[in-house]
Structure 1
Amino acid sequence: MASNDLMVGLEIGTSKICVVVGEARLDGTTKILGVGQAPSRGVRKGEIVDFETAMKCVLEALSDAETKSDVMIKGVYVGVTGAHIQSFNNRGCVMLPDDHEEIDEQDIEDVKINAREVSIPAQNAFLHSIIQHYHVDGQDGVLNPVGMLGQKLEADFHIIHGVRTRIQNTIRCVKELPLEVEDVVFTALASAQVVLTQQQKNLGALVIDIGGGTTDFILYVDGAVKQSGTIGIGGDHITNDISMGLRIPMARAEKLKIEEGSVILGNCLPGETVVLKDDSGFAGKEVERETLNTIIHLRVRETFELLKRTLDEESFINFIGEGIFNLRLSESPIFNCDRVDQICASGPGRATAAARIRSHFQPFFTRDTMKELRRRARRSSPLQKHQTNFLTRNRQGTTT
């Protein structure tokens, strides 16, 4: 196989390192040759905090991918995330000289540069300039202006940027192995390219990727990226809440979350419990299932509330006609419920789907979390009251 037919993606996540090896086919599809994984260490909230440790984990995942795909990896496309990632929309404009009325590739590049001529923090660097729409002499909806005649070329871009040194740390970690970095991509953008069809992008869709330490999102309207970003909360925060609220080790909390937890309240029998068997250094414990589910529910709802608050800064959330796609909801048992399946389902039309999304997200976005905690405390057992008070005291900050 030709080396230029190979594509390798690398994501340095908070909970795991993942390497995917693919082969480009003539019909435009990609055949997955192998997937390598390794537990992640030295990474916090999607960013490297221990360079040497993280590099060893990346090497372990790469070796696993090479073994499974029978391919020697020389270069990778690297996914980046982190709460430092920001984005905005901006329009660029260039005027063509009188003796140069036909638009060419250089004009396309010039209008992109013009769109980037905005003030961003000095420590930040541009990551992506994603085209939304072109306008030629006031004509809207131009898909490709190259070759067209005009005097004024405008273009709307969605621009993603982040802290330069944090992005460079990820790149340096890969180059030290040593590997070539083919390109760097915001992980939510990469996820959307795989998850969404062009029709879904045209109808409007929101992709949410709940990772271990962060939650990435990207929103499409009329085929173009309108909003994107990262929230510094992920699945590890749920695990930490369970560990602290139930006073059990982190490893047991993670296992309990995956195997027994649910985000939906009221689905278990009154007094139903989960028994944690004793282990070395752990005497075992019996916990109420509804208490476990409440801890999970509150953290997930907080995540959605923060996401909704971010999305409400613009009005694009009202135009996602195809629905909401969550990469982790479909994988994790804690989200395996009819309600979330309905939230994630695609809709037949824009108005109907938007109404369905609003109705199903209503409990997450409008109910006051602390008020709900106090209400549950008043009718709960003494043990549950102690756990509820504990969660209330710690809800002001994000636990890591």
Structure 2
Amino acid sequence: MERKNYTVAVDLGSSSVVVAVGEKTPEGAVDVACVVSKPVEGVNAGRIENIELVSRAIREAVSEAEEQLGIRITEAYAGISGDFVRCARHTDHVFVYDPQNGVNQKDVDALFDRMRNVQAPDDETIMERVPQNYLVDDSQEVRNPVGSFGKKLSSTFNFILCLKTPMQRLDMALKRLGIKMLGVVSDALAVPESVLLPDEKEEGVAVVDIGGGVTDVTVYYRNVVRYIASIPIGASAINRDIRTMSVPEKHVESLKQKYGSAVAELAPEDKLIRVNGRTAREAKDILLRNLATVVEARATDIAEFVQQEIKDSGFAGKLAYGIVLTGGSAKLKDLDELFRRVTGMDVRVAVPEAGITEESKEKVADPAYSTAVGILLKGAEQGGCAFVERPSTPASTAVPGAAPRTGFIPPQQQPGPKFTSVPPRYPQAAPAEEPAPAETRPEIPGQDEEADREDPVVVEPKRKRGFGSIVMSAIDKINKGFSAAEDEEI
């Protein structure tokens, strides 16, 4: 029997996929039941390029979550990020129905209806409409226009748009597992829900989520999302640069996290680290200062791109709380110091803390879980996800051709009796052939009498061969041989 308590979030990144499951409490907070992270391949800068590899990684993460909770997941909310997600502004207005009594909620609803009629380009879809401000008679800016006096109510909305193809591929990857995607949200809108404090949203802050292939920037001011941007560069670019130092690919990530630094001058000058190769002879010594120099160069590029996006938002001088860094790559040592030097703003590294229970904070105390928890919070506002408590696939959610996930193998229907043709127990006689019709020949006088005089056919008996005759014939051959030999000249 299905229930509507749990909410499931799927955060598909360029290097990992995170599945978070939680339940909304009566107090309004979300209790995170479990969170699972698995490496993923087949995603480049947020775009799914190999759906088979992506589905396999999601299957592993979902199966582990199902095993922990003893459920079968059939619905989920998903996040999406990449340079195919953008924001666009549109301004419109309505005339107040009763100016004498001021603006009422019906006037605001009429303005929202006009914004809902705005159409996206053919290859894009509108993910969300965010009102930026309200103007009464084009002069008085208010947060809540209800009760204000005027004849004209106008507003600027921020439209979050996304290309249809990446969303369709994400939906396809989940359908292959028998999971229905209830909704998709931009990662840039989800992350602030899990890491920002109320004062930060009010006074102004820029959230920078650094992932493997994409860096998302979200600008908050006066409790409103003012700007979002996705930069198609992330920690994978740093890893590629480290790889040029002849470091085996399997050691790059651990080397960066344990010994890397985003500020070269803060790294030790004379400390070496030995990186093992395939054999002891191939081991390589790397100076930590050189490693930090490589990391700093690419991290500086990311920081400069972020700074430019903040300037393009038009709120660079209004962000009292500076920058909040999060995402799996925010754990890089001294990255916050690098951003301070490049942008000149206050910087802090955040983990998911907002909107969840105290018990849940320990489970998700990692910047890499910020997006998944944010999607979980956004999904909980819309409603829970359906699931089943027994390991079977409901007929309503089963997808033709979807492979069963590891850990919960649905019971297969037992094949019924199959009737096949059985050969007869005893050999059957072949049907008798009908005699060929007799050939009709012209009657010849006296023919019957001659036929009567023909001798009957006699079968010759098998000739008997005695041993005596065989011996005598052999002796004759030998004597002839000797006689022939005597006649030859020597």
TM-score (ref. length: structure 2): 0.64
CA–CA distance in structure 1, aligned partners of residues 309 and 71 of structure 2: 42
C-alpha deviation, 1:43, in angstroms: 1.0
Q: RMSD in angstroms over aligned alpha carbons?
A: 2.9
State the secondary structure of the residue aligned to 1:28.
coil
Write out aligned runs for 1:1-400 (5 A).
Answer: 3-96=3-96, 102-104=104-106, 106-113=109-116, 116=118, 122-138=122-138, 139-143=140-144, 145=146, 151-244=151-244, 246-279=245-278, 283-328=282-327, 332-335=331-334, 343-345=346-348
Query: 2:105 & 2:176 partners in 1: Cα distance?
Result: 42
1:10 is matched by which residue type in structure 2?
Answer: V
Cα distance in 2 for partners of 1:222, 1:194 equals 17
Q: For the Cα contact (< 8 Å) 1:103–1:149, is it kept in 2?
A: no
Closer, same or farther: CA 281–192 of 1 in aligned 2, 3 Å: farther
Specify the code of the residue in structure 1 equivalent to 2:313.
E
- State the 1:44 CA deviation: 1.1
Q: Normalising to structure 1: TM-score of the pair?
A: 0.77
For residues 130 and 336 of structure 2, what CA distance do their matches in structure 1 show?
35
- Code of the aligned partner of 1:168: Q
Change (3 A) 1:92 1:16: same
1:148–1:334 CA distance, 2 compared to 1 (3 A): same
Given that 1:80 and 1:167 are in contact with CA atoms closer than 8 Å, whether structure 2 keeps it comes out as yes
The answer (yes or no) to whether the contact 1:264–1:337 under 8 Å persists in 2 is no
Letter in structure 2 aligned against 1:198: P
Deviation at 1:130, TM superposition (A): 1.4
Q: Return 5+ residue gaps in structure 2 as ranges.
A: 350-490
Read off the aligned partner of 2:258 and give its amino acid letter: E
Deviation readout 1:274-315 (Å, 9 max, x if unpaired) = 111344598210011111001110101001112222222232
Per the alignment, residue 408 of structure 2 pairs with none
Asked if 1 retains the 8 angstrom alpha-carbon contact of 2:5 and 2:23, the reply is yes
Report the residue type matching 2:347 in the other structure.
C
Q: Does 1 or 2 have the higher relative contact order (CA < 8 Å, sep 6+)?
A: 2
Residue by residue, what CA displacement relative to the aligned partner does 1:13-38 show, whole Å, maximum 9, x if unpaired? Answer: 11111010010011110000001222
CA shift, 1:187, in A, is 0.6
Tell me, in whole angstroms, the C-alpha distance in 1 between the residues paired with 2:83 and 2:143.
Answer: 34
CA distance in 2: counterparts of 1:306 and 1:162, whole angstroms: 21
Shift of 1:52: 1.6
Q: Evaluate the alpha carbon distance shift between residue 62 and residue 299 of structure 1 in structure 2; reply closer, same or farther with a 3 A threshold.
A: same
Match of 2:425 in 1: none
Amino acid corresponding to residue 143 of structure 1 in structure 2? N
Contact 2:210 2:329 in 1 (8 A): no
Greater mean deviation of Cα atoms: 101-110 or 60-69: 101-110
- CA contact 2:204–2:219 (8 Å) conserved in 1: yes
Counterpart CA distance in 2 for 1:84 and 1:57 is: 23
Counterpart Cα distance in 2 of 1:136 and 1:111: 17
In the TM superposition, structure 1's runs of 4+ consecutive aligned residues that sit over 4 Å from their partners are: 96-102, 136-139, 147-151, 336-342
Q: 1:108/1:180 Cα in 2 relative to 1: closer, same or farther (>3 Å)?
A: farther
Residue aligned with 2:282, SS = coil
SS in structure 2 at match of 1:233:
coil
SS across alignment from 2:264: coil
3-state DSSP of counterpart to 1:3: coil
Distance 1:135 1:197 in 2: 28
Select between 292-301 and 53-62 the one with higher mean Cα deviation.
53-62
Rg: which structure is higher? 2
The sequence identity of aligned pairs, in percent, is: 25
Task: Name the CA shift for 1:330/1:306 in 2 (closer, same or farther; >3 Å).
Answer: closer
- Residues 353-382 of structure 1 show CA distances to partners (whole Å, capped at 9, x for unaligned) of xxxxxxxxxxxxxxxxxxxxxxxxxxxxxx
**Which structure dedicates a bigger proportion of its chain to helix?**
1
Instruction: Output the amino acid matched with 2:307.
Output: K
- Give the aligned residue type for 1:324: I
| 1:221 to partner: Cα distance | 1.3
Match of 2:389? Answer: none
Q: CA deviation at 1:204?
A: 0.2
C-alpha distance in 1, partners of 2:227/2:142? 19
* Residues 252-286 of structure 1, C-alpha deviations (whole Å, 9 max, x = no match): 11221111101011123333221113445982100
Change (3 A) 1:193 1:289: same
The CA distance in 2 between the partners of 1:81 and 1:64, in whole Å, is 24
The amino acid that maps onto 2:270 is: G
> SS of the counterpart of 2:36?
strand
Measured against aligned partners, the alpha-carbon deviations of 1:62-109 in whole angstroms (never above 9, x if no partner) come to: 111222233432211110001111113332322355799754274153
